[in-house]
Amino acid sequence: MVKYIVKRLLLAVVILFGVSIIIYSLVRMMPVDFVTNQFLSLVLDGKMSEAEFNRLLELYGLSDRSFKGIVTGYLKWIGGVMQGDLGNSFKYQDKVGTIIAENMGTSFAIAFAALILQFLIAIPLGVKAATKQYGVVDYTASVLSMIGTALPTFFFAAICIQLFSVHLGWFPVNGLTSSLPVDASGWTRFWDKVWHLVLPVTIMVFLSVGSLMRYTRTNTLEVLNTDYIRTARAKGLGERTVIYKHAFRNTLIPLVTLLAGTLPGLFSGAMITEQMFSIPGIGLKAYDALKAGDIPFIMGYNMFLAILTVIGTLLADLMYAVVDPRVKITK
């Protein structure tokens, strides 16, 4: 087991190195950069000289767009990373690591709550739909899951905001806090934030629960048609015992694969949802940085997600041995 983990971690270093090269090259080849986004209009209006504009390009390391310039910029960036420095954000004027650490807490809370609700709803509903195939539960769940899967996030969020926030006034329109008195207690502020997050979390759950439910349903149907399930029924075991003791555990085996994408999803932030509700999370920060061409933040954010993806994949491989005793990790 230890040998396998060490081998995978060494392979992860090579993968992350390749990912960093690809991301940095793509970012540097964007049609515009941070300085152009911020100051080109001033040059066109005559409020900034072209020499001053070129000096800013040189200062930010964006003046040379050639292959040599990209390689030089990457070597400078990777050298800082080796020393534990992800660089300073162009847009936010602060350490990239500090920005990520300060803003991922809100995104993590939203994503974690949505993930727990998603699993609590999708897996039991998928099992129920499989055991009652072509019944009312199966058709209802299938229709709702297809609607949730097909709806774009921005469209569904806009409908929910208009209905529940604007017309009915049940939930706040945007933000994370209300205008509370200065002497408001900690619990009051906590529940105020929770109330602000009810609608965003509900939207995320509704849009993501469908695919997991269909996945669970399909896996459960495959397991229920296997020989050992027919043998268990032939022995006279109750249907509940057959489903939840024998079939359900084997249904979990393919679901473990989802762990690879769950971990980075918890910390990456929901860009569209956070933008629609003006939630100050890491997803909104990353979206604004991407629009601004903030290379250090884009690199730090994406490498952070790449590391989480590698860790998530390793955890998924290890969980196979836990869920299925027949799996032995020896290499």
Q: Looking at the DSSP assignment, which residues form a beta bridge with residue 95?
A: 88
pLDDT of residue 21: 92
Same domain (yes/no): 122, 249: yes
In angstroms, the CA 95 to CA 107 distance is: 19
| Each residue's pLDDT tens digit, 132-153 | 888 888 888 888 888 888 888 8
Instruction: Give a yes or no: residue 178 inside a domain.
Output: no
Same domain (yes/no): 247, 278: yes
pLDDT of residue 2: 76
In angstroms, the CA 282 to CA 88 distance is: 16
Q: Does 325 have pLDDT greater than 70?
A: no
Same domain (yes/no): 131, 61: no
Same domain (yes/no): 154, 212: yes
- What proportions of the chain, in percent to the nearest 5, are helix, strand and coil? 75, 0, 25
Same domain (yes/no): 158, 257: yes
Strand blocks (E) in the chain: none
In angstroms, the CA 39 to CA 47 distance is: 9
In angstroms, the CA 272 to CA 278 distance is: 10
Instruction: Give a yes or no: residue 87 inside a domain.
Output: no
Q: Is 88 helix (H, G, I), strand (E, B) or coil?
A: strand
pLDDT of residue 269: 67
Query: What is the percent of the chain with per-residue pLDDT over 70, rounded to a whole number?
Result: 93
What CATH number corresponds to the domain at position 134? 1.10.3720.10
Question: pLDDT category, 327, cuts 50, 70, 90?
Answer: low
Phi/psi at 88 (5° precision)? -105, 135
pLDDT of residue 181: 67
Q: Is 281 helix (H, G, I), strand (E, B) or coil?
A: coil
In angstroms, the CA 233 to CA 214 distance is: 25
Same domain (yes/no): 40, 140: no
Instruction: Give a yes or no: residue 90 inside a domain.
Output: no
pLDDT of residue 331: 54
Instruction: Give a yes or no: residue 175 inside a domain.
Output: no
Instruction: Give a yes or no: residue 328 inside a domain.
Output: no
Contacts of residue 7, defined as CB under 8 A and 6 or more positions apart, other chains included, come to 331
pLDDT of residue 330: 55
Q: Does 279 have pLDDT greater than 80?
A: yes
Contacts of residue 181, defined as CB under 8 A and 6 or more positions apart, other chains included, come to none
Q: Does 83 have pLDDT greater than 60?
A: yes
Instruction: Give a yes or no: residue 193 inside a domain.
Output: no
Position 67, amino acid: F
pLDDT of residue 73: 87
Tell me what the mean pLDDT of segment 11-34 comes to: 86
Tell me what the mean pLDDT of segment 278-290 comes to: 85
Q: Does 329 have pLDDT greater than 60?
A: no
Question: pLDDT category, 295, cuts 50, 70, 90?
Answer: confident
In angstroms, the CA 87 to CA 70 distance is: 16
Same domain (yes/no): 61, 140: no
Q: Does 260 have pLDDT greater than 70?
A: no
| Residue of 253 and 188 predicted with greater confidence | 188
pLDDT of residue 69: 84
- Rg (C-alpha) for the chain, rounded Å, is 25
- Which of residues 82, 114, 130 is at a domain's end? 82
| Each residue's pLDDT tens digit, 58-68 | 878 877 778 88
In the structure encoding, which two tokens stand for residue 318, read together? 């290890």
Position 328, amino acid: K
Q: Does 323 have pLDDT greater than 70?
A: no
In angstroms, the CA 322 to CA 310 distance is: 19
Same domain (yes/no): 76, 136: no
Least confident of 127-136, 159-168, 262-271: 262-271
Q: What's 95's DSSP letter? A: B
Name the pTM for this structure: 0.79
pLDDT of residue 90: 85
Instruction: Give a yes or no: residue 96 inside a domain.
Output: no
| Each residue's pLDDT tens digit, 171-208 | 888 777 777 766 777 778 888 888 888 888 888 888 88
pLDDT of residue 322: 67
Structural domain for 58, as ranges: 2-82
Same domain (yes/no): 156, 295: yes
Q: Looking at the DSSP assignment, which residues form a beta bridge with residue 88?
A: 95
Same domain (yes/no): 51, 110: no
pLDDT of residue 220: 84
Least confident of 188-202, 203-217, 262-276, 303-317: 262-276
Same domain (yes/no): 49, 125: no
Q: Is 270 helix (H, G, I), strand (E, B) or coil?
A: coil
- Nearest CA to 117 out of 214, 217, 220, 202 is that of 202
Q: Is residue 31 packed enough to be buried (19+ CB in 10 Å), middle (13-18) or exposed (0-12)?
A: exposed
| Residue of 45 and 142 predicted with greater confidence | 142
- Which of residues 19, 51, 82 is at a domain's end? 82
- Which of residues 82, 117, 152 is at a domain's end? 82
Q: Evaluate whether 299 touches 99 at the Cβ level (below 8 Å).
A: no
Instruction: Give a yes or no: residue 314 inside a domain.
Output: yes
Q: Does 234 have pLDDT greater than 70?
A: yes
The number of domains in the chain is 2
Same domain (yes/no): 125, 213: yes
In angstroms, the CA 285 to CA 278 distance is: 11
In the structure encoding, which two tokens stand for residue 241, read together? 């015992």
Tell me what the mean pLDDT of segment 105-132 comes to: 86
